[in-house]
Structure 1
Amino acid sequence: MQIDAKLDESSRDSRRHLQFWQSPVLALLILVSGLALSFYLSSHFAKQSRERLQDRFQATVQQTTRVIQEKVDRFSLLMMAGRGLVLNNPSLNSAELNVRWHRMFDSFNVNYGDIGVVGLSFTRFIAAHSRETFIDEFNRNNSRKLTIFPPPADNQPSLVVMHLVPKSIEDRVLGYDIMSEEKRRQAVLETLRTGKMVLSRPLSLLPTDINSLDYLQMLPVRSVLSDGETHFLGVVTIGFSMSMLINSSLEDLPTPMRIQLIDTRESLETPGFDTHPDLGNTPPLLSMTRIITIGKHSLTLRISSLDPSAISAFSRHYDTATLMSGISITLMLTLISMFFIVTRQQALQLSRNMAAQAEEMYQRYESLFAQSPEAIVVHVNGKVELANQHAARLFGCGSPDELYQRDITELVHPTSIEFVERRREILSSGSPLEPAEQLLLRCNGQPFMAEVSSSLINYQGQEGIQVVFRDITAAKQQRLEHRMASTLFEHSADSIMVTDNRGKIEMANPSFQRLTGYSSKSVIGRTPDLLNAGHHSSEFFYKLWSSAKGNGFWRGDIVNRRKNGQLYIQETEIHSLRNETQDITHFVCFMRDVTQQRDGLEIDVSSTTAQQPSKLPNRLHFHASAESDLRRAKETNTPFEVGIIRIGHPSTPVDGTDKNHDQLERLSLVAQILESATNNIRVALLSDHELAIAKDGTASVCDGAQLRKYILKHLPPASESRTDITVAIARYPEDGCDLESLMLVAKNRADQA
């Protein structure tokens, strides 16, 4: 018997082994294994090919970027050479300096066209009151004749082109006033303010080239006077075409490339120059981003390959030859194995598959029904036959059993019963039903609103209706709250601006346009920098955003500029919004114009000292109020004056020492004397040795000399400030038409005094 048992066991093992080799499992194993191996090898070889292409492309991009960077680095050296020539030859007249200018730059043996340079020039600063004298003296001593163009305003200072390389275009631009064009003028003001090299915003130097992107790089030229003060002589400028520079860098490349240049001061995404604009904005497969620096500014280069063969190879995720060979071999082996199996097993396998599929469908439906996140009820002839656990919770029952054999109308609010009967008739006729909202009843009689979807099913040989319920009470409440929030946003008297977590504006209400002059559509996608009046330091904005991100809130005053150029003081509240993971997704900014309320604001400028000798308005409040006074002067056509009163020489920043405390006492004393002279003078603190004043021109003390005499007359006899007071006045409209120009003239006059 033991022998028979062993034989039976051996026979069963043999049958199982035979069934395995005669079953489709073997063919399936061959097919899956062969396909998996084919795809793996094909993907591996394609990945290696893409990595080689990526390495070659990256090397080309680095080489191209280095070539472009080396070219633009020469600009700074050329400009510093020009500044050195001007400063080292202060006694030369214009003609002799012009000869040395061309002799020096010609000796460099530089092909300016290869590095994209349009022109390298020196522009001299000429005050409005000395312009005619300068032109007459120049024309007497030079064979070249100077005419300033475009004709500047009588009260506007000029920056005039005097020397230019290449010489071939010097005569055409001799006398051109770069202050006449807004972008050049803004660059000049920035380089004067910072004293450093500045890159202008994109402008047109090559008007015949419609796809040209040109810039001016400027370096201020200041001479140091014997008393330590500096005197502004002019600006060394280099005009260059990024279009020419980039195109010349692409000429010697072995493969075609596309370069897009993005100036983030103009746009964070839109290229200012594109070597192939006809290709549109479709993202390339082979693309890299690099940064080039010009002075203190950065420009972004987006470089992509245009080599069709490289792009085609990089887009393939599988090596075609390897994949086709592997699939062919796999299919051949699979067909051979299936040839021996399918005849014997076809009928049996078909019946097993059908039974398995039926069982699987039943199990799947049962599992989905029980585990569905939606509440599901099946009723036949109006009686509940089946319900899941979610349905029991939705209707307030302890278990689905409490719903069984209930009439379906018991779960429907009386006001919805007619609607339910009508939908049942439509469904019974074979017409589909769209989901609908119905008022239902919980088991305790509490009504609630739900979205209902109904469909016909076969349940145990009978026609039944499967109903899916979804409680939408909370959703309707959310929609109501959303409508209320939208109404508050649209009709709020406060200006509201919403940005994403990177500071890009996504929404702005109508009050925003009334406050700033910008429509909501025009600011979408931009940043709040468009309102920046330039009166706050980067440290101020760093603390602002640090508080908004860290604490979720910031409140304070910001001096901003409207679309029409008008300055105003803005009371600001910033709130951060966070998602479920506590990551910041948006910032909501509430803004209000408080210029009139802040008109009398005083900021304690000596709060770091041991005592508090004075309180004076600061530079920000002065600019805001002076802009308002100048605007009124323009509207009423009355005189307006600004000035600088300098007491002593610059000292160290206010640090609480007795020396600085005494200096602030002197400033406070002079400010009190000025305010007692007339009610029409505004006084503000610029630095530890300078006061700014603004008056409407009708004050009893008019010019700088009278004002200085008045101050000296009222100073105590023993005051240390009696002998080192400088007063410089600039008048509207004779010396300028805007506050920046007037303050620049006053500062230059104070420097020259």
Structure 2
Amino acid sequence: MNEKKHKGQSIHAASIVGEQFIKTIMDSTPNMMGYWSTDLRCRYANNAFSEWFGMPPEKIIGIRFQDLVSAQLFAQNEPHIRGVLAGEPQRFERTLNKADGSVGHIIGHYIPDFGADGTVRGFSIQASEVTGLKEIEAKLKLAACVFENTLDGVLITDVNGTILSVNPGFIEITGYTADEAVGQTPRILQSNRHDQAFYDSMWGEIEANGCWHGKIWNRRKDGELYLQRMTISMVPDEDGKPMRYVSVFRDITALWRKDEYIKHLAFHDALTDLPNRTLLMDRIDQKLLHAERERSQFALMFLDLDGFKLVNDRLGHNVGDDLLKDVAKRLLELVRRSDTVARVGGDEFIFILDNPQGRDEVAEVASRIVSSINEPIDVHGEAFQIGVSIGIAVFPVDGDTSANLIKNADTAMYAAKSAGRNNIRFFSTVGRVS
């Protein structure tokens, strides 16, 4: 009898220990756990549950559900309460006000407790606070929204340079779809306009500072080159080592072309697109430096069209403009890569012949110019014939500055014009015209 009683006491003690062990586990869990009977009175609440509502467990146990929460919250939960009392597990998300006044977000579960006869005798509540996760989720959604809707191209790679993700802006700019780009490397965009030193410098800056920004030429899927302004940023892991690389870029080709066009207009004649006086003077100065260094020479030929004013006055500026364009085209056909032809006035041009092999070669080129300009020019279906007078100054014998060379070639040109159409004159070393 004593043995049986002792055994019963041992079982009871073990049961108490077991209950205490389970209670310890439930009170230690960060999730809110509670139990409610069918009359909606609390029968159990763990520490997390108490902390959320700011009440000790003894005050929660026995309280009615509708007295613990606000009327608004009870109305929101009532459909789930009816569902769990009908034997159907419930899952829902809810934003709640905490006892300390802060707002928290939970994922809640109502789990029915069935008796031996299959009827529901209550339900347990398990709620996990996911406020931090929701904040992260909101930030990720915001980042994803920016990623998807920014007009800039965005490219994300792993540390090995394999493309992990691209945004619609990338697709619009490059012409590659996401399926075509992901798994490749940014080398699919390479233009071959930059040498290895450029890329070495770029990656050296990324390694040193964590980012690089600048301009780079790349190539679209259809082969077209485009200029982009780009930033590459290194995304570090917890140890500060590279984990991802993010490239954000914008197509600035149109802006660059506009800028280049403005620069071009500043140094070129608007009608013929030949170098203007500003660019001509720079070219002459460069020739002077080169010629002095290499002990070479060059000839400057001043051209003035014969008979152009008559055509321009009789038929108008439109015909005159087209005539000048055709003259420019003919002169360009005679220019070598190292030569220059510029328009410096209404019907005045200057031709720089680089390093001629003596006076005879200069005279030969000048004669070819005369012959070319003398060929009939067809403008709007009508043939015109004009001539050209050419004055020539040679560096260094006829001047050692751009101003002197132009002045002396101009003097020689007036002498040629005084002699009649299609004449060529050299400026002599003594200031006379030969």
Q: TM-score, normalised by structure 1?
A: 0.33
How many angstroms does 1:492 deviate by? 1.6
Quote the residue 2:109 is aligned against. 453
CA distance change for structure 1 residues 507 and 446 in 2, over 3 Å: closer, same or farther? closer
Q: Give distance in 1, aligned partners of 2:108 and 2:83.
A: 15
Quote the Cα distance in structure 2 between the aligned partners of 1:353 and 1:541: 78
The 8 Å contact of residues 215 and 230 in structure 2, kept in 1 or not, is answered as: yes
**How many residues get paired?**
286
CA separation in 1, counterparts of 2:287 and 2:211? 38
| Partner Cα distance (1:585, 1:352) in 2 | 61
CA distance in 2: counterparts of 1:531 and 1:598, whole angstroms: 19
Q: Distance between the aligned counterparts of 1:488 and 1:532, measured in 2?
A: 26
Partner of 2:194: 536
Change (3 A) 1:563 1:424: closer
Matched residue SS, 2:142: helix
Name the counterpart of 1:386: 44
C-alpha deviation, 1:601, in angstroms: 7.6
| Mapping 1:600-749, distance limit 5 Å | 666=290, 698=329, 700-702=331-333, 705=336, 707-708=338-339, 710-712=353-355, 716-717=395-396
The structure 1 residue matched to 2:65, chosen from 392, 408, 427, is 408
- For residues 58 and 209 of structure 2, what CA distance do their matches in structure 1 show? 52
SS at match of 2:253: coil
Deviation at 1:527, TM superposition (A): 0.5
- Per the alignment, residue 330 of structure 1 pairs with none
**How far has the Cα of 1:447 moved from its partner?**
5.8
SS in 2 for 1:443: coil
Tell me which amino acid in the other structure corresponds to 1:592: R
Moved more, 383-392 or 564-573: 383-392
Query: Does structure 1 conserve the Cα–Cα contact (< 8 Å) formed by 2:113 and 2:124?
Result: yes
- Aligned residue in 2 for 1:423: 80
Aligned CA distance change for structure 1 residues 594 and 715 (closer, same or farther; 3 Å): farther
Distance 2:197 2:13 in 1: 71
How far the C-alpha of 1:450 sits from its partner, in A, is 2.2
One-letter amino acid matched to 2:158: D
Superposed counterparts of 1:72-151, under 5 Å = none
Question: Within 2, Cα distance between the matches of 1:443 and 1:527?
Answer: 52
Change (3 A) 1:705 1:547: closer
What is the identity, as a one-letter code, of the residue corresponding to 1:666? H
Q: Residues 27-86 of structure 1, C-alpha deviation per residue, up to 9 Å, x if partnerless?
A: xxxxxxxxxxxxxxxxxxxxxxxxxxxxxxxxxxxxxxxxxxxxxxxxxxxxxxxxxxxx
CA-based RMSD of the aligned residues comes to: 4.5
> Structure 2 vs 1, CA of residues 596 and 701 (structure 1 numbering), >3 Å: closer, same or farther?
same
Report the Cα distance in structure 2 between the residues aligned to 1:529 and 1:441, rounded to whole angstroms: 52
Change (3 A) 1:487 1:446: closer
User: Hey, what does 2:184 align to over in structure 1?
Assistant: 526
Q: How much does 1:537 deviate?
A: 2.8
Change (3 A) 1:561 1:360: farther
- The one-character-per-residue Cα deviations of 1:123-169 (angstroms, maximum 9, x if unpaired) are xxxxxxxxxxxxxxxxxxxxxxxxxxxxxxxxxxxxxxxxxxxxxxx
Does the CA-based 8 Å contact 2:218-2:226 persist in structure 1?
Answer: yes
Superposed counterparts of 1:110-259, under 5 Å: none
Offset of residue 568 of structure 1:
1.9
Paired with 1:663 and 1:411, the residues of 2 have a C-alpha distance of 94
Q: Check 1:411–1:351 CA distance in 2 against 1; reply closer, same or farther (3 A cut).
A: closer
Amino acid at match of 2:111: S
> CA separation of 1:528/1:405 partners in 2, compared to 1, >3 Å: closer, same or farther?
same
Alignment of 1:32-71 (within 5 A): none
Q: Secondary structure in 2 aligned to 1:540?
A: helix
Q: Secondary structure at the match of 1:503?
A: coil
Deviation at 1:468, TM superposition (A): 1.5
| Structure 1 residue 576 corresponds to structure 2 residue 207 | no
CA separation of 1:424 and 1:491: change in aligned 2, threshold 3 A? closer
Structure 1 residues 572 and 355, CA, compared in 2 at 3 Å: closer, same or farther? same
Match of 1:85 in 2: none
Equivalence for 1:499 = 157
Deviation at 1:464, TM superposition (A): 4.6
Residue 495 (structure 1) shift: 1.3
Give secondary structure in 1 for the equivalent of 2:188.
helix
1:368-404 CA-to-partner distances (Å, cap 9, x unmatched) read 202112122334443334333322333345x545544
1:516 aligned residue (160, 174, 179): 174
**1:444 to 1:505, Cα distance in 2 relative to 1, 3 A:** closer
Does residue 435 (structure 1) correspond to residue 91 (structure 2)? The answer is yes
* Residues 206 and 233, structure 2, Cα contact 8 Å, conserved in 1: yes
1:438 counterpart SS class: strand
Alpha-carbon separation, structure 2, partners of 1:588 and 1:413? 47
Q: Using the alignment, how far apart are the partners of 2:330 and 2:70 within structure 1?
A: 83
Q: Partners of 1:579 and 1:411 in 2: how far apart?
A: 44
Q: 1:517 to 1:423 in 2, by over 3 A?
A: closer
| Conservation of the 8 A alpha-carbon contact between 1:568 and 1:595 | yes
- Deviation at 1:570? 1.3
Report SS of the residue matched to 1:563: coil
How big is each residue's C-alpha offset from its partner over 1:597-633, in whole Å with a ceiling of 9 and x where there is no partner? 334889xxxxxxxxxxxxx99xxxxxxxxxxxxxxxx
Change (3 A) 1:547 1:476: same
User: Once the 2 structures are TM-superposed, how far is the Cα of residue 556 of structure 1 from its aligned partner?
Assistant: 0.5
Rounded Cα–Cα distance in structure 2 between residues aligned with 1:557 and 1:450: 48
Pick one of 584, 594, 618 that aligns with 2:252: 594
Structure 1 residue 549: deviation in Å? Answer: 4.2
Q: Which residue of 2 aligns with 1:561?
A: 219
CA contact (8 A) 1:549 1:584 kept: no
Match of residue 191 from structure 1: none
Which entry has the higher C-alpha Rg, 1 or 2? 2
Amino acid at match of 1:438: R
Deviation at 1:505, TM superposition (A): 1.0
In structure 2, C-alpha distance between the alignment counterparts of 1:664 and 1:717, rounded to whole Å: 9
Structure 2 CA distance for partners of 1:702 and 1:456, relative to 1, 3 Å: same
Shift of 1:550: 4.1
Matched letter for residue 434 of structure 1: Q
Give the match's secondary structure for 2:290.
Answer: helix
Q: Per-residue deviation at 1:526?
A: 0.5
What amino acid is aligned across from residue 512 of structure 1 in structure 2?
F
Amino acid across the alignment from 1:712:
N
**Structure 2 CA distance, aligned partners of 1:369 and 1:533?**
63
Distance, in Å, in 2 between the alignment partners of 1:664 and 1:589 is: 47
Q: Distance in 1 between matches of 2:207 and 2:40?
A: 58
User: 1: distance between equivalents of 2:220 and 2:355?
Assistant: 41
Q: Deviations over 1:260-305 (max 9, x none)?
A: xxxxxxxxxxxxxxxxxxxxxxxxxxxxxxxxxxxxxxxxxxxxxx
Preserved CA contact (<8 Å) 1:503 1:527: yes
1:374 alignment partner, one of 7, 31, 40: 31
Q: Distance in 1 between matches of 2:215 and 2:153?
A: 14
TM-superposed CA distance for 1:534, in Å, is 1.8
* Separation in 2, partners of 1:353, 1:522: 71
Does the C-alpha gap of structure 1 residues 433 and 383 become closer, same or farther in structure 2, counting only changes over 3 Å?
same
Distance 2:184 2:134 in 1: 34
% identical aligned pairs: 21
Gaps of 5+ in 2: 1-6, 265-285, 303-327, 340-351, 357-392, 400-434
- Return closer, same or farther for 1:444/1:510 CA change in 2, 3 Å cut-off: closer
Q: CA contact under 8 A between 1:437 and 1:452: conserved in structure 2?
A: yes
Seen in structure 2, the aligned counterparts of structure 1 residues 600 and 450 have a Cα distance that, compared at 3 Å, is closer
In structure 2, distance between residues paired with 1:396 and 1:570: 57
